[in-house]
Amino acid sequence: MVRDLYNVRVQPAEPVVTPLTDEEEQRVRSTLFHELGREVAERGWARFPAYTTEERRRLVDVARRLTDHWGQQVAVEAEDEGRIRLFLTGNAALPAQAAPRD
């Protein structure tokens, strides 16, 4: 069933309070940068679970940092409600021979 939504407005982002300290947050982002960066460099894509808004924001920031670091666009795509995929823009499709890894 298709439902048309009228007068739908995007709500401004609410400030998210992370349970991590600033130092812990930096370490998490650094680890994601290195681990996901290695995986994207090897395969052209990587997926990672992201269930909360803060986790999604971290992955978007990691993709932006990888783009700045490599000089090549790293895109972010939500695969479903709990997984985000980072990929090089030239590798938008998953390789046929690669089995999905969770």
In tens, the pLDDT along 35-49 reads: 999 999 999 999 999
Does residue 96 carry a pLDDT above 50? no
Q: What is the pLDDT of residue 20?
A: 85
Question: What predicted TM-score, i.e. pTM, was given to this entire model?
Answer: 0.71
Q: Predicted confidence band at 91 (pLDDT cuts at 50, 70, 90)?
A: low
Q: What is the pLDDT of residues 10-24, one digit of tens each?
A: 667 666 666 888 999
Count the Cβ atoms, other than its own, within 10 Å of residue 56.
16
| Displacement of CA 81 from its chain's centroid (Å) | 12
Count the Cβ atoms, other than its own, within 10 Å of residue 6.
4
Residue-range domain boundaries for the chain: 47-91
Burial 23-54 (b: 16+ CB within 10 A, else e): eeeeebbeebbeebbebbeeebbbbbebeeee
